[in-house]
A and B are shown apart, each in its own frame.
Chain A
Amino acid sequence: MMAWRSAALAAVLAGVLIAPAQAGTLRWAPQRDIVSMDPYSFGDTFTLSVLNHVYEGLVRYDSKLQIEPALAESWEVVNPTTWRFHLRKGVKFHDGADFTADDVLASLKRVSDPNSPLRGNLPSYVSSSKVDDYTVDIIVTENYPLLLNDLTNIHIFDQGWLVANKAEAPTDVAKGVEGYATSHANGTGPFKFISRKPDAETVFEVNPNWWDKRKHNVDRIVMTPITSAATRVAALISGEIDFTNQAPLQDIPRLEASSDLKVLSNSELRTIFFVMNQTPKAFESDVTDKNPLQDIKVRQALYHAIDADAIQKVVMAGLSRTTGSLVSPAIPGYVPELDKRLSYDPELAKKLLAEAGYPNGFSFSFLCRNTEFVNEEQICQAVSAMWARVGLRPNLNLGPTTIQDAKFDAGQFDVGTLGWANEPMIDSYSILVQVVHSKTGNAGVFNWGGWKDAEIDALIDKAGATVDRDERLALQAKALLRANELSMFIPVHQQPMAWATGANIESVLQLSDNKPRHWLTRMAE
């Protein structure tokens, strides 16, 4: 009887004691949850940036967005197709296992598996082999210059853990194996994975045995996604949340006015642009015999009809950087000529449409997401109105990212949005090889609309085999300029990133890749 009662008392006390926010606990509220604890399961920048707190790659970006060693201490190019990495010794996984070459091999095998959704992030990979316990050779296609950039996003698993938990193959729902890595994690990173309730709460705790020098004083991270922008702001203001990496733009003045809160806003690497279906047949249009969007005049008409200034001022609260370039100025390969936009001229747009044979416009399907880019829903609605005013009839279809991306991938759209940050390469080769290039081989994975230009393809292919950096960047700039000439896409802006921190946080590092790095965060003492 007494034992029972004291047990009950203990339980109550334990509950009460858990209640107040522990010192050193970072309460993080992103707009949406990560999709899985498995870093190979979805090629989603946000998920990867969160998982980077638990897992690490062979190399990583430093605070100036330059590549620096991480799990690999050094490397050299042995021959044009072989890179040799010397691994860091004394690193341990969270479960205590040692980090060795076997782990790297197992991870590379897993990520390059034909079923792996992330294999597009390692496009040049051929194979890898073990030289000794702390040395690995990675074989790539000839002269591929950007292996290191790619490797920043390839996180390393412990081979023993993969085998013990039957997770060597990437999450394969067809085999009925519940992906162990979906809800469990064992990495080498600064934080350990503790628990996860999808769409509710994910908890990380500091890894006291991390190999790197600890610069942060965060002991625990509790991540609770809050989809509603208003609720997120309310939570920040009332102090229930310490940090969000998606502060709603319309609330920034309010947040800044609050003395406890700080807002870090800047434009990030991600460029938002419209993509257009350029296959012979439109997806859903009243024009059934051909695709109006194949005609450059039509594409230019859509471009001229957009009042980018109004969007920047009203929808983006003046925080975006209107651009004519597919890549941000911080991306290697950018040249200032790329930034020139077609003017806002609705009359010219109507004229062009008439010249192309559509004096009364035409209807088309317009696909946008509502959980992905900043204010994407509003941008699309505003642009719909602008296009309607020049006689076009866009049918706007909104939905969450996973649903819409599936449609994009299947080519089920006429006009749509895409945002590209060139992660993790931080080089314009990324957008060129994955988006602009036609769909051939490993290239053009995101070429959803079948756009194609032989000259551009040739330039990109050449750049992919050019080791000299300046020469390569010149080729890439030329390809980008030509894409602009052809009005292949309609750039809109580099989107703003807005982080907000509460009173408990002293400092947070925000780089233009918009990735939170809480191993560099300091909380208020």
Chain B
Amino acid sequence: MATELSTGRPSLRQRLWAFYDSDLIWSFRHSPMAILSAALLAIVAFTSLFAAWLMPQNPFDITQLYLDKANLPPIWIEGGQMPYLLGTDLQGRDILSAIVYGSRISLIIGVASVALSMTIGVLVGLMAGYVGGALDNFLMRIGDAVMSIPTLLVAILISAIFRGMLPVDYRDAAAPLILVVALSLTSWVVYARMIRAATMVEAGKEYVLAARIIKVPRRRIILHHILPNVLTAALVTATLNLGLAVLAEATLSFLGVGMPSAQPSLGTLIRIGNQFFFSGTWWIVLFPALQLTLIILAVNLLGDWLRDALNPKLK
């Protein structure tokens, strides 16, 4: 280390190390909520990853659905059958398998949409903050316009519209992609504003001035120098928004414009089961609803913890 010239700017690696050192981990270890939530999410992630080996049925494959195995109750109730631990629905879908596969698709869509909106938001924010002037004005006005339309509305519109426009063959396959795009179309603005503010602060600092003096190209300054310093705030926001994204996807599926019943996400399962909730086959709704709530709760708790742990004012 002594042979390295100190340039005055911390490298990405050093900053990462500084953050993930003691304070954060200590905080994690002393927060039961955080540990619990992380454990829950780990279980969900694990089962999702190995679903094909662990679960008795792949509910996304309609050839595995048999009508004569439909409407079976959970095994602790009379009439239940192995291996359908949590019962089956009206088409013969095993509820437990459906939950695991459904969680997988719900989480994938949630994470992907957050990643996409963060990427868009960060890029826009960096450009607006660094370049400033007319570009900044323009981008922020667009951001204002976009923010004034509730995410759910746009998502419903985009989802329904694109599904209607695609030929039938591709409709189901494209559904996850359409959902991801629909959900990120309005959520990038939050990141953009945050990054823009942080970028403007960073842009005034000396190390940036120094870089400009030695004619480092603009793109390099933005991506290699400024970005790492502003990213952490964005990451925290992203974690907090993950819960919202999963919730939004579930809502869209519940309304019928999300994942179709051939590839049901948790929201879709709840929609399907809702018709039968009062008719006696309550397990079709209850277990997906429980799973959905637990996932969102875990994500929110983790996000909350992360925000508090990283908040310098609370130290």
Contacts and interface: CB of A to CB of B under 8 A. Distances in A.
Contacts of B91: 378, 381-382, 385
B278 A384 contact: no
Interface in A283-307: 284, 286, 307
A233 B67 CA distance: 25
A230 B277 contact: yes
Contacts of B276: 230, 250
Contact of A365 (B70, B92, B168, B275): B168
Contacts of B278: 230, 233-234, 251, 254
B211 interface: no
Interface in A222-243: 228-230, 233-234
B62 interface: yes
9 contacts: A230-B277, A250-B275, A250-B281, A254-B279, A314-B70, A365-B168, A378-B90, A384-B262, A396-B262
Category for how many chain A residues contact B = 20 to 34
Interface of B: 62-63, 65-68, 70-71, 90-92, 167-169, 171-172, 261-262, 274-281
B71 to A, nearest CB: 7
Contacts of B63: 385, 388-389
B169 A230 contact: no
A315 interface: yes
B90 A397 contact: no
B68 A284 contact: no
Nearest to A251: B279
A384 B66 CA distance: 11
B17 to A, nearest CB: 51
B262 A228 contact: no
B256 to A, nearest CB: 9
A383 to B, nearest CB: 10
Interface of A is mostly: helix
A314 B275 contact: no
A282 to B, nearest CB: 12
A395 B279 contact: no
Given A251-B279, A254-B279, A389-B63, A314 B90 contact: yes
A126 interface: no
Contacts of A491: none
Contact of A230 (B172, B261, B279): B279
A228 B274 contact: yes
A62 B79 CA distance: 46
Contact of B62 (A230, A250, A311, A385): A385
Contacts of A230: 274-279
B169 A395 contact: yes
B172 A310 contact: no
Interface string A153-197: 000000000000000000000000000000000000000000000
B261 A397 contact: no
B57 to A, nearest CB: 12
Contact of A388 (B62, B169, B280, B281): B62
A30 interface: no
Contacts of B71: 314
A32 to B, nearest CB: 15
Contacts of A385: 62-63, 65-67, 91-92
A229 B167 contact: no
Contacts of B67: 307, 310-311, 313-315, 382, 385
B65 A395 contact: no
A123 interface: no
Interface string A123-137: 000000000000000
A315 B92 CA distance: 11
Interface string A259-289: 0000000000000000000000000101000
Contacts of B90: 250, 314-315, 378
A229 B275 contact: yes
Contacts of B92: 385
A303 B271 CA distance: 30
Contacts of A254: 278-280
A493 B62 CA distance: 23
Nearest 8 A-B pairs (CB), nearest first?
A310-B67, A385-B62, A395-B168, A365-B168, A250-B279, A388-B63, A251-B279, A314-B67
Nearest to B278: A230
A486 to B, nearest CB: 27
Nearest to A363: B169
B98 to A, nearest CB: 14
A363 B168 CA distance: 10
A395 B172 CA distance: 8
A363 B171 CA distance: 13
Contacts of B277: 230
A230 B284 CA distance: 14
Given A363-B169, A385-B91, A395-B171, A310 B68 contact: yes
Contacts of A384: 62, 262
Nearest to B285: A230
Residue with the greatest number of chain B CB neighbours at <10 A, chosen from A230, A254, A388: A230
A444 interface: no
Nearest to B281: A250
Interface string A349-379: 0000000000000010100000000000010
A82 to B, nearest CB: 49
A405 B90 CA distance: 26
Contact of B168 (A234, A311, A388, A397): A397
Nearest to A403: B164
A284 B169 contact: yes
A145 interface: no
Residue with the greatest number of chain A CB neighbours at <10 A, chosen from B90, B92, B278: B278
A363 B172 CA distance: 14
Contacts of B261: 381
A74 B163 CA distance: 55
A410 B71 CA distance: 37
A315 B168 CA distance: 25
B14 to A, nearest CB: 53
Contacts of B275: 228-230, 248, 250
B287 to A, nearest CB: 17
